[in-house]
Amino acid sequence: MDDSQALRLQVYMAKCGVGSRRHCEELISQRRVMVNNRVVDQMGVKVTPEDIVQVDGETIELVDKVYYIALNKPRGYVCTNYDPNEERYARDLIMIRDQNLLFNVGRLDKDSNGLILFSNDGDFANKVTHPRNEIEKEYVVHLDRKADVEDLKKALKGLYIDLPQPYRIKSYSFIPQRKDYIRVVLTEGKNREIRKIFSFLGYEVKGLTRVRIGCIELGSLQPGEFRNLSKKEIEGLLAGKNSLDERKKFGAALKRERELKRRQSDGNSN
């Protein structure tokens, strides 16, 4: 096979459904990847489908079908695909034939619930999770008391807690009639960011639900339920549609698309 069809190892791994490119690079640096029975720990290696690539001793291959799935993760489930100390995995709730190919796009910690995306498309995962794309994540946060506006202003400005980089929220809004609930929007998504911010400010987070990723909303999905993303949803997410106005316009377009499909289906049944 000619060199024009060769791919960088981490790109090849991502296209095999191993994970995002960044995750694949971590696996390579950890010496967990072999090419033609030799351990590879450098990023410049190129491979073709004729090469034998193994991750943790298991051979991987390019996949033909790609999946883009939204799941309402219940509290108590983890998003990693394997942890010897855990028993309940979010991926196991997605009952499809190729479940083993899926990996979570971004994170949602065990004690939180709500919207999490799964895919086997590494390029998609990389674009959605890369900080430079600033895709919004919106949460409903249940606190032990009403948040003080001055504290929220500090969170907007940025708080130095346990990293050289600040923890920061992009925006917030109060939920009418619920003084102890607040909506918070992030674009970075550091590990347990919201919990760390409010804990640092002296609050207890009693509940945390993610309700939106970019233009994808949790909507009516019940805990444990999942659905496939539509083509328009995928395109909208990759295009960086984030703002409320964009979501309203996008939601209207999606509603028209669903109505058209319903009419076509009704016509075919007749």
Question: What amino acid positions are annotated as catalytic residues?
Answer: 109
Strands 137-143 and 205-213: antiparallel
Specify whether the CB–CB gap between 73 and 47 falls below 8 A.
no
Task: Specify the amino acid at residue 85.
Answer: N
How would you label 93-130 residue by residue, b for 16+ Cβ within 10 Å and e otherwise?
bbeeeeeebbbbbbbbbbebbbbbbbbbbbebbbbbbe
Structure-token match 């996949």, residue found: 63
> DSSP characters for 104-132?
EES---TT-EEEEEEES-HHHHHHHH-GG
| Size (the chain), residues | 270
The dihedral formed by the CA atoms of 194, 197, 201 and 202, expressed in degrees to the nearest 10: 50
**What stretches of 36-90 adopt beta strand conformation (E)?**
38-39, 46-47, 53-55, 58-60, 68-73
Q: Which two tokens mark 130? A: 């890369």
69: nearest Cα among 251, 259, 192, 226: 226
Distances (CA, A) of 117 to 49, 103, 104: 28, 9, 6
Structure-token match 């993303």, residue found: 229
The 8-class DSSP code of residue 4 comes to G
171: nearest Cα among 188, 183, 160, 181: 183
